[in-house]
Amino acid sequence: MDDVVGNISTLQEFAQQNNQNQTEKWYSLDEDHLFVEFCNRMIEIASHPFDLSSCVGYEFWTHNDTVPKDWHIDKDEQMQIKKGVTRFPLCSMVYYVEVDDLRGGKLHIEDDIITPKTNRLVIFSPGKYHCVEPFLGKRTTYCLNPWSVKL
């Protein structure tokens, strides 16, 4: 989906002021934090193609010109390690806050390839292998995974 945030310049200014990467963190739906309005809006948008009625919270993290780990599936890492059980989020979201002078950096979701674009939201099904190509240029993303269980 393109052009999902109406006032993208405000979000970009905010991203520039808070340009450090935020590591994955769990938030309950009613928890206040720096990105809460953005996260609530993305969950509302994702609730149209996905049933998020069982959502109790979400993981949120950012990538500011960093390449995420290799091919992977978003999952409950702790449950996998501790009990050998694989649990997936309700969906996965990647929002492109800013893309500028980018070479590479495409998002691969199994056989699909998505070209980054400022103000683009990519929502994909749980259990999908994905990765990001190495890149040069500006690529700022906010990532969010809604969950039906508390992590």
Which CATH number characterizes residue 100's domain? 2.60.120.620
Whether residue 68 is contained in a domain is answered as yes
Whether residue 2 is contained in a domain is answered as no
Whether residue 1 is contained in a domain is answered as no
What b/e readout covers 47-69, taking b as 16+ CB neighbours within 10 angstroms?
Answer: eeebebeebebbbbbbbbbeeee
Whether residue 19 is contained in a domain is answered as yes
Residue range 23-81, pLDDT digits in tens: 889 999 999 988 898 999 999 999 999 999 999 999 999 888 888 778 999 998 888 88
Q: What is the pTM of this model?
A: 0.90
Q: How many domains does the chain have?
A: 1
Contacts of 106 (CB under 8 A, 6+ apart): 113, 114, 115, 116, 132, 133
